[in-house]
Amino acid sequence: MERLVAVEALNPNHDKLTRFLWFTGLRCNLNCSYCDHHDQISPYLSVEMVKSAIQHIRANFSDRYLEMVLTGGEPALNPDFLEILRILKEDGGVHYLGTMTNGMRPLEFFVEAMNWLDIMIISYQLENPQREKVLEVIEGLHRQLNHKFGENKRWIHVQVMVVPGELDHVRQVADRLRKLDIPVTLRRVRPLLHRSSLGTSPQFVKPYENPLIDGHQDPDLIFDEDVPVDYYSAEELQILEDWDREWGGVANFNQVESVYEVREGSNIRFERRPQNVNDFLMRGENNYQDWLCWAGNQSIYIDEKGNVFAGSCRVKKMGHINNGFTIEESPLICTPGWCRCGTDLKVTRFHPDFADQVRLSKK
């Protein structure tokens, strides 16, 4: 018998790495049925707010390696998007900069953006009526980056947002991109069952219309913890699990070191394993209720209003980008329990009985 008791970075140097996930705004040019956080009217993130944020980031995180990913909404819609990238990379002290995008801007726009980006994560939306255009942009970007940057590699990573009934197309897309050595991962989505939680967005979000089938319950497909979601068929879930196993090692930036307590009769030993964070989701090992974690200095979330939180789970509010925020020097108690964000899943964490299994507890 075994159980997960701790998670930390594979590389000890990454103990001083801070990842920022910045939700830059609600505006989006798509209207996906499973997205609860978008509209077409909210204001864009301003250059002034970005400059304010980097003042506080440089003051509080000067001794740390900084990674930042801009998301939304659709961050590339911002008319100041390229200038924001330049400021963050050249003036903001951000060592590794990325963005998530639906890939709907012109190819030339994305090529220019890669002058400052180290990685572009393109969410391939199956509900996008122009999805073939997005594939052509991805392929064109791949060719131009190889020509422009050569060995000074800029990365493209494609995550396919999988909806039921589209697995044949998913396989075709994955095979097409992987032939070019473009990394592909699959993201299962959760339908929106509780429209009361959408705030100002309901008028822009399409209703959930898919029938519930097969009676399958999966912890990663639950929008509300009390509501089982029978969104994919049992056959589709098995296929997705097989593909995750086949392709899981592609996203090396999602690797961590897991510590398992292994019991064999009266013998107890601890086993350390490199692992992809997606495995935690697949195996239901992503409930860390009452564990201790370093989200307050390893995973920072900034929302569309500029509020700053420890973790995408928002376990603790740390301040605001205009008024200041400080790093958390001690681990926080996990109160949300379920952890689903890839950025948060890479944070150093441990069951309170096993603090001696992680490096940060020994410093």
Q: Domains in the chain, start-ordered, CATH in brackets?
A: 17-253+296-323 (3.20.20.70)
Name the phi and psi angles at 68, rounded to 5.
Answer: -145, 135
Residue whose pair of structure tokens reads 């992503």 in the numeric block: 286
Radius of gyration (C-alpha) of the chain in whole angstroms: 20
| CB-count exposure of residue 150 (10 Å: 0-12, 13-18, 19+) | exposed
Selection from 165, 163, 169 nearest residue 135 by Cα: 169
What string of pLDDT tens digits covers the 363 residues of the chain?
899 999 999 888 888 999 999 999 989 888 887 777 777 788 899 999 999 999 999 888 888 999 999 999 999 999 999 999 999 999 988 999 999 999 999 999 999 999 999 999 999 999 888 999 999 999 999 999 888 777 656 789 999 998 888 899 999 999 999 899 898 888 877 766 544 433 443 343 334 333 333 333 333 333 343 333 467 788 888 888 888 777 654 455 678 999 999 999 999 999 999 988 877 877 788 899 999 999 999 999 999 999 999 999 899 999 999 998 988 989 999 998 888 888 899 999 999 999 999 998 876
C-alpha 60/C-alpha 70 separation (Å) is 20
Residue whose pair of structure tokens reads 């500029």 in the numeric block: 306
Other beta carbons within 10 Å of 302: 24
C-alpha 49/C-alpha 54 separation (Å) is 9
Residue whose pair of structure tokens reads 């953006």 in the numeric block: 113
pLDDT, tens digit, 9 for 90 and up, residues 51-69: 999 999 988 888 899 999 9
The structure tokens listed for 309 are 């939180």
C-alpha 63/C-alpha 93 separation (Å) is 11
C-alpha 287/C-alpha 313 separation (Å) is 12
CB 48 within 8 A of CB 1: no
C-alpha 265/C-alpha 353 separation (Å) is 20
C-alpha 296/C-alpha 51 separation (Å) is 22
C-alpha 177/C-alpha 284 separation (Å) is 29
Amino acid letter, 269: R
Other beta carbons within 10 Å of 222: 17
The structure tokens listed for 270 are 């601890």
88: which DSSP letter?
I
The structure tokens listed for 117 are 């980006």
| pTM listed for this prediction | 0.84
Distance from CA of residue 19 to its chain's centroid? 11
* Residue 137: C-alpha distances to residues 102, 124, 234, 317 (Å): 11, 11, 33, 38
Pairing of β 349-350 and β 2-8: antiparallel
The structure tokens listed for 317 are 């509010």
pLDDT, tens digit, 9 for 90 and up, residues 140-151: 999 998 887 776
CB 346 within 8 A of CB 286: no
CB 311 within 8 A of CB 294: no
